[in-house]
Amino acid sequence: MPPEPNFDYLYEYGFYWVYVRMIKILKFQITKEFLKFAIVGVANTLIHLSVLYILTEFFSVYYILSSFLAFLVAVTNSFVFNTLWTFKKDIKHNTATRYSKFFVVSVITALANLFFLYIFTEVAGLWYMLSQIIAIALTLMMNFIGNKFWTFKENE
């Protein structure tokens, strides 16, 4: 087992208060961003479902194609709102790179969502709607972490 870290120097030089304050601010900032990210996610779920329904019911587009197109619309909307509101980045700075990263994270989490949905429904025997709720909760965290620390990392 590794030795416990020694933070005595923080007390000795009066930095302890600064250290504790920085940790509290960081935790608050991540929590605030996560809540905003989740709100954007709920809005995008509604957008996805709306586009899916409209394309399928009113334009007779095959539902799989409708869902794919709805996914593209929702991901693009999510990118714009998460860039401007959640992570407060300049939409004009590195847009193509950021969007590409955002899209990759979205596709990976969509695939993970399907994997969890299958496992919880087919293997664990849960009702598919409960399985989907669990899968959404798990992939929401994955999606946030991927975007927070890769797509929108601080030094970009």
pLDDT tens per residue, range 68-78: 999 999 999 99
- pTM greater than the 0.85 cutoff: no
pLDDT tens per residue, range 43-87: 999 999 899 899 999 999 988 898 899 999 999 999 999 999 999
Question: Tokens in use for 25?
Answer: 């601010």
pLDDT tens per residue, range 104-132: 999 999 999 899 988 988 999 988 888 88
HSE-up of residue 144 (Cα within 13 Å, Cβ side): 19
pLDDT tens per residue, range 7-25: 555 455 555 555 555 566 5
Q: Where are the domains of the chain?
A: 11-151
